[in-house]
Structure 1
């Protein structure tokens, strides 16, 4: 059937309505829409959102297919309610040429579960010494608009300035991994009381904040766009808030895990909690939540970072940094923002669909749930609560910090241009 009727859904958390999908677009939204000729999905008061958009995903392909592939990563994305993800450039080879970004883009097209927009590297090989082929990647079939050396900071101010100047020509954006490398040599976790007690190398907040301060000033000087990846400290929030008050074109993201978890968990020495930037303090967590609520932080991005078992099942110092997040992100946001009253579902749609699509220029995504718009949609059973079981993940990796933890909400259906990719919690 080319038509689907979603009956009785709370669109963006509002009063129940029917949504009729015809082919790849939404035909109508209203009450008591006719079901003739349509497959009917009984929403029963579930929340209907526009398809989620993740501006920060690691799909690992090419080069680390043991941890994730574009296919497995997009299946994980569909399971989590995502219809569009931006794939980071730290692959092997690095996505610093038109050829590599086109390869990732075509693999995304072939997967059919989620649109994939490659992010291009800022510098050749992520080495921070020479600008990559930014123009060629933008003009390629992949149409790259976001550039990042994520995993490494563009620490040279001259290189960062040149990148901002270059992308300004086509309204691109540089997404900065804010980490001053000389301040984090040997760092293992957040610098503070816990790191001192555990004897682990401290990762000071100033290592993040100093780079953000420099880069918002560079963006102001150049008149270009800068995006701050995985912002994690209360001080970083204040710098971004100040920059926005000056009219600087800066946007920022926060990860679900930085909205919920703190450095106290590192006392277990369980490497599942080792991440970059590190888990911070309860004060930081509260500041991040408030900043996401008031719009200082623009979006939630997963920083989905899959690793094979052997890279995490080892001693803390040797373990890789990162957590998977695509399949749990919406539940964590519900737990930390919706169920606490800091955001309503319309606010979730704004932070997890509308704004990330706008920042990354994701055509056809982050659109209102209304007649004539692309049918990229996510249906959420917000009343559900259950334990996280990574054995059921679609991702190839299982490095989740939430195993066994009870979280609210689950995605039951996802539609990509009218085609169901997830039905009753199962991938099609």
Structure 2
């Protein structure tokens, strides 16, 4: 592989420097580095971050290739600055065996736009009745360490306890979709003033909060790790904050859309705003931003959930839940967290690279931008402003809530182990 010199980049938002990539690693970081025979990328003051890591992505393959494939999903990831993604288990067949997770893992290796780490199902068929082959998935070539029935809650306390006990043996983590099913039967949106006015079935905050409260107590009892997927309410923030104050090994994520959008958007009856968990109130949004800033919420995860056109272009009640997010996540975080002064770019590197890599144990990712480290890097033009046009997405699906909205920032280059996967905003 050839040498690449990135010149004039603000590493983690600091002073402009040069970064020399030699093969798969970073050779030097500093000033006055001679380009020699290296090809030069003129950064011109752009922000250089470690490659982003998404702990919560739906790639749909196998089984729903009409929505997304590992190829199109990883191309979308590279376009958004990601060098590693964790692929959720709700595929067809479900990723509840060593064979299925190895298939997803190898597809990621073959396509090469970013590393793909499969997430294994907690229960067989996501049915919540019997533990899946957790040990076999961990010992497989995919080396699964994160397990989740995302899309469904592990609502049986006994099953959840057993899962926490099982993964403790190899340092794994159970990522919970916190949703008490009996409290959300027929729910269409956040329960509150807007749902009452629109006459749509309400999804109460307590349906999320009660599961989180139970699971942090189970994790404390077992002495295991639990991760809370797509935390969305102010009450959930307080529960996680309390659990961390007790020393419970809990981590939590927030999605970009829960940092920006509210249930007021549902007044349009546009199914693009239908998501699980639902968009909440302005009060919840502010609490989530503050919690991400103070570290109560550990990471930003996209919950990239692609759907074909026909599953979204229909009446609200019949529409599928979910939004695509890999290609807009960093821009939303810049707008909601950096431009509001809540996070620095160094903080963004922590919440979107270092911490998710640490939670998921993604080898070679979430590493410092320094000599000797793998050259997994993302270059961001933070001065850019532009309207979101889903026609230009690399994802196979177009169900974005940001179409036509002006967002800041644009990823111009992504490097996976020294190889450019995105150059000047175009896939390599």
TM-score by length of 1: 1.00
Task: Tell me the CA shift for residue 288 of structure 1.
Answer: 0.1
Does residue 177 in structure 1 map to residue 177 in structure 2? yes
Secondary structure of the 2:125 match is helix
Q: Distance in 1 between matches of 2:84 and 2:146?
A: 14
Mapped partners of 1:2, 1:180: distance in 2: 53
Cα drift, residue 43 of structure 1: 0.2
Q: Separation in 1 of the partners of 2:287 and 2:188?
A: 23
1:366 corresponds in structure 2 to 366
Classify the secondary structure of the residue corresponding to 1:175. strand
Deviation for aligned residue 1:323: 0.0
**How many residues matched?**
428
Displacement of 1:2 in angstroms is 1.1
> Matches of 1:19 and 1:339 in 2, distance apart?
26
After superposing on structure 2, the runs of 4+ consecutive aligned residues of structure 1 that deviate more than 6 Å are: none
CA distance in 1, matches of 2:102, 2:14: 40
- The residue matched to 2:357 in structure 1 has which SS? helix
Query: What are the superposed Cα offsets for residues 3-57 of structure 1, whole Å, 9 maximum, x if unpaired?
Result: 0000000000000000000000000000010101100000000000000000000
The aligned residue for residue 248 of structure 2 is: 248
Q: Distance in 2 between matches of 1:110 and 1:263?
A: 40
Secondary structure of 1:72's match? helix
Q: Which residues of structure 1 form unaligned runs of 5+?
A: none
Q: Shift of residue 332 of structure 1? A: 0.1
For the residue of structure 2 that corresponds to 1:265, the secondary structure is: helix
Deviations 1:124-144 (A, max 9, x none): 000000000000000000000
DSSP 3-state at the match of 2:20: strand
- Residue by residue over 1:150-190, the C-alpha shift from the partner in whole angstroms, topping out at 9 and shown as x without a partner, is 00000000000000000000000000000000000000000
Q: Deviations over 1:235-276 (max 9, x none)?
A: 000000000000000000000000000000000000000000
Q: How far off its partner does 1:312 sit? A: 0.1
Q: SS at 2:85's partner residue?
A: strand
SS of 2:291's equivalent in the other structure is helix
Q: State the shift of 1:111 in Å.
A: 0.8
Looking at structure 1, the residues matched to 152 and 286 of structure 2 have their Cα atoms a distance apart, in angstroms, of: 26
The whole-number CA distance in structure 2 between the counterparts of 1:83 and 1:340 is 26
Question: Structure 1: how far apart are the matches of 2:171 and 2:35?
Answer: 43
Can you give the 5+ residue segments of structure 2 that lack an aligned partner in the other structure?
none
Structure 2 distance, partners of 1:25, 1:35, is 16
Cα distance between partner residues in 2 of 1:157 and 1:283: 30
SS for the counterpart of 2:95 is coil
Distance across 2 between alignment mates of 1:253 and 1:28: 33
Q: Partner of 1:6: helix, strand, or coil? A: strand
CA distance in 2, matches of 1:131, 1:365: 29
